[in-house]
Amino acid sequence: MNWWKKEPLRIIEICNGHNLDTVSGKELLEAVKNLGGNVQHFHCMDTAGGLDDRRFFFKTEAAAVDNPDLLGEYIPMAREAGIRVIVYFNVHWYTRDFGQQHPNWVQLRENGEPIDDVYATGTSCCINSPYRDWVFQVVRDLCKYDIDGIFYDGPIFFHNTCYCEACKQQFRERTGQEMPLKSDYENVLWKELLAFQSDSIQRFLTDTDKIIKEANPEILLCMNGNTPSPNWATGRDNRKIARSSDILGAEGGFMSHDLNQVSLYKPGVTAKLLEAQAKERPLIVFDCAGWKLWSWYLLPEAEIRLLLAQTVAHGANYWLAVLPDDINQPEMDGVVSFGKTVADNPGAFLKSKSLAKTAMVWPAQTMEYYNGSSVPVSDFTDKMDRQGIGNVNEEFHGLYEALVRAQTPFDLIDDASTADLSGYQLIILPNAACMSAADTEALRQYVAQGGNLAGTFESSLYDQEGRRQDDFQLADVFGISFSGNILGPMEWDYIQASDSQSTLLLGGINKKYLPAPRYGIEVTTTSGRAILNYCKKLKGRYDNTPQLSPHPFLIENTYGQGKAVYIAGTFGGSLWNFHFPEYLKLIRNICDQRSDRQVGIPECPWVEISLRQRGEQIYLHLINRTSGPKRPITYIHPLQDMKIELFGMPVKSVRAIRSGQDLQIEKHEGKVKLVLPKLEDYEIIEILI
């Protein structure tokens, strides 16, 4: 078994690549050990302003000058200390001078100009150009050292590249056509361009891995894959990356700009999606202690703790980047604590499996082809919005947060996961507009055989390439038919109960009028029953008392042995922007009525849970989010005597791992009750069954 599969990885990167003289090898090693790391991303290339061939600090034929061999000096020290060394290799950021020396290597924009603004200082080379051979020479020379792995930072294509001669020629050979503009979403060859770029990255990885494994099968290869965002902007397709690398990872723990506009759950979203895409490979969420764009400014300790808690709670290894100036700052205390927890309890974090009975679809096809898709800001991309309505990012993240706050364990699955849904009781479609006929048929059979489905807005109204259909592909499952119109924008409009018939889906929702989402979709019911309807559109917010319209908003339907709930509007977008309590309650009701509740934590709504199993141990991860009203989070309020209920588990004993306490249990009618004396930021409850 390869070394990276034998134990949980606690990867520390001391980011001294901008100035390799900042700390000595001995200080680096001490920092990694003190922060609880067992693996290190090691810098032996100076990347200040971008990489070039004059700043390699190891022996390689690709170097233009000979520098001290820092890698050769460091490895024996790391071996003695029991720290594994993965070499950091930036393959997407080079100095402008280096690009000018190799003009046929550089990525070109759509207008034919070389890219010259990577991180505002540098350029980027194309992996389809002769640059690839230069990289492979560096890799061969690195493999002559006793290293444990190579990490590629990148490779990527940028949102408006690459139009170099190598790419144009290879695309022409592949398709017989000229390469379309990447900004021309409507071009019939646009999908082929996306496939060409993602295939190019996979081929680059495959060729790299062949070189590495021929040198030493125990040298790992990994790169930073795609975060939960469209693939088209960078060419990174995680399912393809997983086929050609040893670990699948992504920068889910990079927090940037106004944190109030960034999902608090971003590391968890990333870990869950990677698990669906990784093909049994280990996962890494790349977490960064710095607050981007201010790389030399740390996040508060509470934010860093929550990054790590989400990462490990949802089945991923963690990687943490910290600058040399910050390794002894008090914000690092949380990192030390997490390192010790994982090191002392490896079984809780290695090869566990999710026990979730609910899954939400990451609508990958919709992200690529839907006019309501957008690209979030990241270390590689600026925020880019398309002009269509139905922002699928807001829809997804709003529903994700609602599920977390409902304390329902849930997985993320992507379009490619629909072939086997048998382990789930409830599937949720967050405006999954673009779906293939095969995916919709899989969902249809799932519901017919007893599964439950919930979908919002335009889910299944488009085919897999973004062409709108005459009706929903899942119209029969939802019990509706598309009337052809979009409702909105609705600035001050309402929804209300359709009739006096009671339904458990509206349990605890007592208000007569609820805010309508910004956009709705006009449907008629066929076999479905309308539970909530839109009210007639108001001319102004003080126009008149709202009056019921004939347009359904919430429809439930029985299909075969299963049930479906359809929400005819941008429901998740309103959750993301406004967090209406009744919207949150509706999601909890859907989960409670359509899937078995596994865990109950009364009166603690800000505790996120994850439920995983390894052998005869079930691990209940508890993440405390009880804090101040705005980010950055600077304080987490400890919770005392927290009551926990476990359902349907044959529990023998319970232990709180971090606090080292055996907990008393009380069994009653299929339910186990226990009390956790104190929850600070994070705890793992080990349940022996």
Residue 306 covered by a domain: no
For helices 392-405 and 571-578, what crossing angle results, to 10°? 70
Answer positive or negative: Cα dihedral of 347, 349, 351, 356. positive
pLDDT at 385 over 90: no
Residue 107 covered by a domain: yes
Note the pLDDT of residue 71.
Answer: 98
* One domain, residues 532 and 608: no
Burial class of residue 333 in the structure, from the number of CB atoms within 10 Å of its CB (0-12 exposed, 13-18 middle, 19+ buried) = exposed
Note the pLDDT of residue 371.
Answer: 85
Strands 358-362 and 410-414: parallel
Q: What is the mean pLDDT of residues 314-320?
A: 97
The model's pTM:
0.95
Please report which helix (H) or strand (E) contains residue 191, including its range.
helix 190-215
Listed residue (630, 668, 676) closest to 647, CA to CA: 668
Name the band, by pLDDT with cuts 50, 70 and 90, for residue 416: confident
Residue 663 covered by a domain: yes
Pull the structure tokens for residue 508.
Answer: 């605890």
> What CATH number is attached to the domain comprising 485?
3.40.50.880
Note the pLDDT of residue 389.
Answer: 82
pLDDT at 376 over 80: no
* One domain, residues 579 and 678: no
* One domain, residues 378 and 504: yes
Cβ–Cβ under 8 Å, residues 123 and 115: yes
Residue 265 covered by a domain: no
Please report which helix (H) or strand (E) contains residue 384, including its range.
strand 384-385
> What CATH number is attached to the domain comprising 655?
2.60.40.1180
pLDDT at 395 over 70: yes
How many Cα atoms within 13 Å fall on the side-chain side of residue 393?
Answer: 21
> What CATH number is attached to the domain comprising 48?
3.20.20.80
Note the pLDDT of residue 502.
Answer: 67
Note the pLDDT of residue 219.
Answer: 98
Cβ–Cβ under 8 Å, residues 519 and 570: yes
What string of DSSP letters covers 605-657? TTEEEEEEEETTEEEEEEEE--B-SSSSP--B--EEEEEEEEES----EEEET
CA 360 – CA 413 distance, rounded (Å): 6
Residue 626 covered by a domain: yes
Note the pLDDT of residue 379.
Answer: 54
Note the pLDDT of residue 374.
Answer: 55
Q: Which residue type, as a one-letter code, is found at position 142? A: L
* One domain, residues 228 and 118: yes
Residue 295 covered by a domain: no
CA 231 – CA 197 distance, rounded (Å): 10
Choose the final residue of a domain: 246, 272, 305: 246
Choose the final residue of a domain: 592, 610, 644: 592
CA 645 – CA 673 distance, rounded (Å): 5
Q: What is the mean pLDDT of residues 400-406?
A: 97
Please report which helix (H) or strand (E) contains residue 683, including its range.
strand 682-688
Residue 316 covered by a domain: no
* One domain, residues 489 and 609: no
* One domain, residues 484 and 611: no
Pull the structure tokens for residue 314.
Answer: 């949802």
* One domain, residues 567 and 640: no
pLDDT at 375 over 70: no
Listed residue (610, 641, 659) closest to 309, CA to CA: 610
* One domain, residues 485 and 611: no
Residue 332 covered by a domain: no
* One domain, residues 583 and 604: no
pLDDT, tens digit (0-9, with 9 covering 90-100), for 418-438:
888 999 999 999 999 999 999
Which residue intervals of 67-189 are DSSP H helices? 70-81, 96-101, 131-142, 165-175
Q: What is the mean pLDDT of residues 388-395?
A: 88
Note the pLDDT of residue 345.
Answer: 96
Choose the final residue of a domain: 212, 246, 280: 246
Listed residue (253, 343, 359, 497) closest to 33, CA to CA: 343
Note the pLDDT of residue 503.
Answer: 83
pLDDT, tens digit (0-9, with 9 covering 90-100), for 256-315:
999 999 999 999 999 999 999 998 899 999 999 999 989 899 999 999 999 999 999 999
Mean pLDDT score of the chain, rounded to an integer? 94
* One domain, residues 567 and 682: no
| Percent of the chain residues topping a pLDDT of 90 | 91
* One domain, residues 224 and 170: yes
CA 559 – CA 292 distance, rounded (Å): 48
* Number of independent structural domains in the chain: 3
pLDDT, tens digit (0-9, with 9 covering 90-100), for 330-349:
999 999 999 999 999 999 99
Note the pLDDT of residue 444.
Answer: 98
* One domain, residues 613 and 561: no
Domain that holds residue 192: 3-246
Cβ–Cβ under 8 Å, residues 281 and 250: no
